[in-house]
């Protein structure tokens, strides 16, 4: 399921739940995302799965987007995934911003360059 702002793929064989993000989200798109996320999570045992967040197209974050991401990271932490990976482009600024947000939350994630 997905739309132009995100796609979600559940790989039962690899035990991987991948979410790819593109662009920004409106309030309605955020609601749609949460509904899709909850549908996918309801069909698996998150502690058996790796969450892969694709943020390759992410640009430098605004303060508003940073706040939304902080809430999203808390949601992912509360879901209880076995492991969380964040795929990012080679942008050192974006990586620094994401690291700062991770430090505000208790989400333990590792970065991989895509």
When pLDDT is cut at 50, 70 and 90, the band that residue 57 belongs to is low
User: Is 19 part of a structural domain of the chain?
Assistant: yes
User: Is 48 part of a structural domain of the chain?
Assistant: yes
Q: Which residue has the higher pLDDT, 41 or 62?
A: 41
pLDDT tens digits, one per residue of 61-93:
677 777 878 888 999 999 999 999 998 877 788
User: Is 92 part of a structural domain of the chain?
Assistant: yes
State the residue range of the domain holding 99: 6-113
pLDDT tens digits, one per residue of 1-40:
445 788 999 999 999 999 998 766 667 778 888 899 999 9
User: Is 1 part of a structural domain of the chain?
Assistant: no
Q: Which CATH number goes with the domain that contains 102?
A: 3.30.750.24
User: Is 14 part of a structural domain of the chain?
Assistant: yes
pTM of the model: 0.85
When pLDDT is cut at 50, 70 and 90, the band that residue 60 belongs to is low
Half-sphere exposure of 68 (CA within 13 A, CB side): 14
Q: How many domains does the chain have?
A: 1
pLDDT of amino acid 1? 46
DSSP string for residues in 57-96: T--SPPHHHHHHHHHHHHHHHHHT-SEEEEEE-S-HHHHH
């Amino acid at each position: 399921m997905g739309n132009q702002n995100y796609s979600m793929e559940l790989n039962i064989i690899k035990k991987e739940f991948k979410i790819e993000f593109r662009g920004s989200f409106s309030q309605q798109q955020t609601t749609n995302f949460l509904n899709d996320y909850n549908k996918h999570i309801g069909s698996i045992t998150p502690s058996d799965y790796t969450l892969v967040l694709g943020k390759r197209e992410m640009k430098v974050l605004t303060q508003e987007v940073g706040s939304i991401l902080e809430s999203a990271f808390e949601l992912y932490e509360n879901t209880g995934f076995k492991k969380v990976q964040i795929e990012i482009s080679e942008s050192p600024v974006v990586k620094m911003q994401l690291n700062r947000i991770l430090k505000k939350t208790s989400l333990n994630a590792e970065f991989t360059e895509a």
